[in-house]
Homo-oligomer: A and B are copies of this chain.
């Protein structure tokens, strides 16, 4: 079915020896490079809503999320496998629009469809595997943060969560052009930034912010065997207008716990801080705290008082 409609077999790049239609795809990495492998669920009901999310956005985002994991290693995406399960009612117009969004993402990230598996299912189920590569030894792990390192985030945090809430509240057609809604629907993996940080050996540890700062920073700390101190006043809050500020919407909570931003969280040795620009390709880079020796993640207020940062982001089993 759908796969045949996806004219990406001969995508520029030349690294895919064999695409859709064989038992498996073949991929020949250049010498001296390591292969990066990652996969991500994108499930109706959990990650998107059939009746709320435009099919193009579903197509874009399922690839963007997986590509973001490659960005978080400082890698270059090369090709992806699409596993798609659809009800028979969705193999026509819905699939066409889904593939349109997926193709756009595939072109934007220079990541070619190399194969996949399709089947029938009552719910829409998507799983995307992305393969990329990085110069051997240069991929940035989560485990390299050391006490004293500065903690940075790219972009603003909580905007995708705000866009998500807008989508849930709204009746009627969606405003695709609102920048915060767009951030929720069409996230942009920070590929150029991740590659630059890896290539210049600037980041000691890195990950992407998919579940929210309060969930993801403790993960980076656990992987590195360190703690962290984050300064509340330095966190780049979502760029909300006055009319956006409804009761119950707290920009600080959005920034701390909102998921789906796909910004990069990275640590930098103190001596390298001067080489980190204020913005990179138009995306701001903000130092929000520092790595500590103890295992706790502390949130510091401007009055000097601190409290433990308790994960409040996305955990499907909570």
Q: Which B residues lie within 8 Å of A115 (CB)?
A: 37-39
A114 CA to B35 CA, complexed, in Å: 12
A96 at the interface (CB under 8 A from B): no
A28 at the interface (CB under 8 A from B): yes
A25 CA to B88 CA, complexed, in Å: 34
Secondary structure at the A interface, as helix, strand, loop or mixed, is: strand
A49 at the interface (CB under 8 A from B): no
| Given A34-B17, A73-B24, A120 contacting B316 (CB threshold 8 A) | yes
Q: Which B residues lie within 8 Å of A317 (CB)?
A: 1, 88, 91, 120
- In A68-98, the 8 Å CB interface with B consists of 69-70, 72-73, 75, 79, 81, 83, 85, 88, 91
* Closest beta carbon of chain B to A279's beta carbon, Å: 23
Stretch at the interface among A125-133, A236-244, A251-259: A125-133
Q: Which B residues lie within 8 Å of A69 (CB)?
A: 23-24
| Residues B119 and A46 in contact, CB atoms below 8 Å apart | yes
Q: Which B residues lie within 8 Å of A70 (CB)?
A: 23-24
Complex interface bits, A277-318 against B, C-beta within 8 A gives 1, otherwise 0:
000000000000000000000000000000000000000110
8 contacts between A and B (CB under 8 A): A23-B69, A23-B72, A24-B132, A26-B37, A37-B81, A37-B115, A81-B129, A125-B125
A residues sitting closer than 8 Å to B (CB atoms) are 1, 17-18, 21-29, 31, 34-41, 43, 45-46, 69-70, 72-73, 75, 79, 81, 83, 85, 88, 91, 114-121, 123, 125, 127, 129-132, 134, 136, 139, 141-143, 206-208, 223, 316-317
Q: Which 10 pairs of residues, A with B, have the shortest CB-CB distance?
A: A24-B38, A23-B72, A120-B316, A127-B127, A23-B69, A27-B35, A129-B129, A119-B316, A25-B37, A39-B81
